[in-house]
A and B are shown apart, each in its own frame.
Chain A
């Protein structure tokens, strides 16, 4: 397993560089928006990756609630954290794209607002994990995650069921995309998915190590000689 990480790291780096090249140079220029449309190749894959990570968080939280496995708890934490990072990218690249195209940085339409709410829910989840010292924290966090995951399909389907400022879906829902653009989009999604996997793997190793160290400290304080007589 240890040798697999650097190999995957190199493959991911090559994929990311190639995907970046294709996004900036290889993909055709969009007729209406021009080059700024290329933000699409980072914005959409980041959103899809975030949704997948929140779904993983949902699955791991269910496993933890049912079976109380520590590994499931770690996977839930890791996937939520990395998911928030990708969702942050979505919320930042979206307005940067919107400004030259719509003339505004932000609007309170269904897609944008629901994505912000989704982000806030998972940031709350991370705050709960970080600042609560109760033994029930993993259980409470898992319960919050199960509810928060309900927001994900709402965000995804919001542009299907509501007329919004946000563009209509390019895949399904009546939308269409140039096949060359679709190829670059999927390539970037693959690259970001591999990147997300590696980041999650690193974070999982870190969290496992942290818990081992915490356990060692706890054992050390238990074994330490008692203070002076009363």
Chain B
């Protein structure tokens, strides 16, 4: 049954990789938008 611990670890790790990857896309898009807003303010 010790080999099954690898499956358990894999399931938990992949869960958080999926969530963190999605969060990273939100953060990245937010940073890009902030830069766009700054450039709009400067040009406006």
Contacts and interface: CB of A to CB of B under 8 A. Distances in A.
A216 B43 CA distance: 11
A85 B19 contact: yes
A109 B11 CA distance: 21
A17 to B, nearest CB: 12
B23 A199 contact: yes
A202 B19 CA distance: 13
Interface string B24-44: 001001100100110010011
Contacts of A34: 1, 4
Contact of A202 (B15, B26, B36): B26
A137 interface: no
A188 to B, nearest CB: 11
A93 interface: yes
B20 to A, nearest CB: 11
A206 B15 CA distance: 23
16 contacts: A34-B1, A34-B4, A35-B8, A36-B8, A39-B8, A46-B15, A82-B22, A85-B18, A85-B19, A85-B22, A89-B14, A89-B18, A96-B7, A96-B11, A100-B4, A199-B23
Interface size class of A (residues with CB under 8 A): 20 to 34
Contacts of A220: 40, 43-44
B10 A96 contact: yes
Contacts of A217: 40
Contacts of A92: 11, 14-15, 18
A43 interface: yes
A48 to B, nearest CB: 14
A82 B40 CA distance: 30
